[in-house]
Structure 1
Amino acid sequence: MTTRQPFNIMIVGQRGRLQYEALLFVASLRARAPSFAGRVIVAEPQPGPLWPDDPRIEPDIAEALIELGAEIVPFHGNHFGAAYPYGNKIEGLATLPPGEPFIFFDSDTLILDDIGAMPIDFTRPTASMRREGTWPQEELYWPGYTAIWKSLYDKFGLDFESSLDTDHPDEYWQRYLYFNAGWFLGSDPQAFLARFLDMSLAIRDDRPPELVIQPLDPWLDQVALPLVVHSLGGGRPGPELDGLDGDITCHWRLMPLMYARESDKAIAVLEEVSAPNRIKKHLKKHEAFKRMIYQSRGQKVREMFDQDDLPRREQQLRNRIKSAGFWIR
């Protein structure tokens, strides 16, 4: 049922860019979501054979996260590691308590409004629809969308036809269940983890013949995610969750893209929550935040674009920002 029950939030945090993104995420949550009553778990990968460099969060950033009420919970990456860091969002689900509703967010997300007040049906898993047709990729000898997606559903014994959006024509990418893995939710993170891990590894290690020329890096998580959601009885999010791709949360991805295309509200929240010195003294150590936010280069990027008439594809945004000399990761 749809309810305002408490739920937990998980993000991944690790040394480098993600630790600063995690701090910004938690700062925005605390500032903009006063009714959020769940736990904020920062899943932290630990050193091991798959992480040649220590991935743990730097102590001063960890302290700042804890002061904001986040919990840093370690996990061991046994299947992906540095070779496929997107796998952290899969293996990191181990840090969440079983049987408690959850939302995973990519760390490059900003909370814009009171997410705790949203009515969410956690019994029906779903994920972000803010995506482009990035996979599968059209190739000279490819078998087509239907053949590729159907081979995956068949591999796991799932009903393919019921996953289709028949408002779109055959062989058009939006007909097929496909998400951005920037957020996903469910009622039991451990059930989600088991299914996500099993399916991802099965696709990676024993792909159907129809996928033989398809790239899986970095798309593996987004290839498996629709199958996970569908197999757990979920599907496309309803209109009641539109805010998770709009007014409630903003998956900004990279600072130059944030300033180029996101809403005035998102930019205002970004600059508001990054301004206090207890946050600023950490974020300014990250070059992209320093240049874009604190040296105001982001506003120069914003002036380059009409946010009501943006280029259709993200690559066009990137190219224009790079040509102007403002691109930074």
Structure 2
Amino acid sequence: MSFNILAVGQSGRLEFEAILLAASLRHSDPGFTGKLCIAEPQPGGKWPGDPRMTPRTRALLADLGAEILPFKARVFGADYPNGNKIEALLALPEGPFLFLDTDTLVTGPLSTIPFDFTRPSASMRRENTWPQVELYGPTLTQTWKSLYDRFGLDFASSLDPNQPAEYWQRFLYFNAGWFFHESPARFGSRFLAWATEIRDAPPAELVCQEIFPWLDQIALPLVIHSLGGGRPGPELAALDGSATCHYRTLPLLYARESDHAVAVLEAVAHDKTIRQTLRHWEAMKAMVYRNKGRKVRAMFDRDRLPRREQVIRNTLKREGLWIR
């Protein structure tokens, strides 16, 4: 099945990540027949200055087979950069799509994954980040149910009955690092409308909750549930598995990801057609070209990693190895 891949690229770190994503797709899935679309916010709207990528990056992405999709951020922009992924959906040509955060490495063939694009889903590689229960505040059930009620959705059918009452994994909650559906127009318009309403007029039960930076992950399960989707099944295990690696930062990739992911990163990064451009990315220069990634890798046992990502981040910062 042919489908489009959508990611976001703009000036700074994201343009280097976009190059790495495009190059890793070509490296790991040469049989991919869809389009890789890099959505690029344009000057004006909610972005001050010029958020576009450099001409050199744009040319290199084109050489790697990517198509640049310009869009204007009218709702989020610099106020909430994660909103790029929401507004960019409306620039994508109609047809089945897979959204990938730009800080994703393709490590295997996406084209062989048996997607059911009529049943949307998203990444379960997440932590207990939202909501946070206050001592005298609403329960998790009350908080989540208020959102389902707001948008006229059936709350009970979204729950995982195998999880205990009030345990965070009982509730439908995703990482927004990847998600998919058959229609970017339907998915994107609903995502944008509901995220905007949660931002501007949240239910009373959210009064003590931090909305940012979690807004995309608050709205995402509601959109997916409303379109007949839910938690990913075993047929999607290659996402966040053998086919993709949502690394977030290069130091985190070296600290906790598989030997295969590191091998793909280094093979792609040393490709002479992109190396001269990637050398302008400070994290790439330090971690890969100056071999500091190997020092990071030796600091952690992948079989006994800390349960929370923040512990890894703090360790890297203490050692002067936290470079984005």
TM range (shorter): over 0.9
13-22 or 46-55, larger mean C-alpha shift: 46-55
SS of residue in 2 equivalent to 1:244: coil
Pairs within 5 Å for 1:170-185: 170-185=165-180
Pairs within 5 Å for 1:142-291: 142-291=137-286
Provide Cα deviations, 1:36-77, integer angstroms capped at 9, x if missing partner. 100110000000041112100100011000001100010011
Residue in 2 that maps onto 1:32: 28
Amino acid at match of 1:95: A
2:66 to 51, 65, 70: 70
2:45/2:72 contact within 8 Å kept: no
Does residue 269 of structure 2 align to residue 295 of structure 1?
no
SS of residue in 2 equivalent to 1:245: coil
Moved over 6 A (4+): none
CA distance in structure 1 between the aligned counterparts of 2:71 and 2:258, rounded to whole angstroms: 35
Identity of aligned residues (%): 60
Residue in 2 that maps onto 1:61: 57
Pairs within 5 Å for 1:46-125: 46-98=42-94, 100-125=95-120
Amino acid at match of 1:176: F
1:8 to 4, 14, 17: 4
Amino acid at match of 2:263: A
Amino acid at match of 2:180: L
Amino acid at match of 2:158: S
Where does structure 2 lack aligned partners over 5 or more consecutive residues?
A: none
**Superposed displacement of residue 34, structure 1:** 1.7
- Equivalent pairs, count: 324
**Superposed displacement of residue 140, structure 1:** 2.8
CA distance in structure 2 between the aligned counterparts of 1:69 and 1:146, rounded to whole angstroms: 45
CA distance in structure 2 between the aligned counterparts of 1:189 and 1:69, rounded to whole angstroms: 21
CA distance in structure 1 between the aligned counterparts of 2:6 and 2:321, rounded to whole angstroms: 31
CA distance in structure 2 between the aligned counterparts of 1:183 and 1:48, rounded to whole angstroms: 27
**Superposed displacement of residue 31, structure 1:** 0.6
CA distance in structure 2 between the aligned counterparts of 1:111 and 1:235, rounded to whole angstroms: 23
1:35/1:117 contact within 8 Å kept: no
Provide Cα deviations, 1:284-322, integer angstroms capped at 9, x if missing partner. 101111101111111100000001110111011111111
Amino acid at match of 1:177: L
Amino acid at match of 1:71: E
TM-score, length of structure 1 as denominator length: 0.97
Provide Cα deviations, 1:209-247, integer angstroms capped at 9, x if missing partner. 000010111000000000000000000010000110111
Amino acid at match of 1:195: R
TM-score, length of structure 2 as denominator length: 0.99
Q: How large is the RMSD of aligned CA atoms in angstroms?
A: 0.7
Amino acid at match of 1:105: L
SS of residue in 1 equivalent to 2:238: helix
1:41/1:95 contact within 8 Å kept: no
**Superposed displacement of residue 35, structure 1:** 1.8
Pairs within 5 Å for 1:125-140: 125-140=120-135
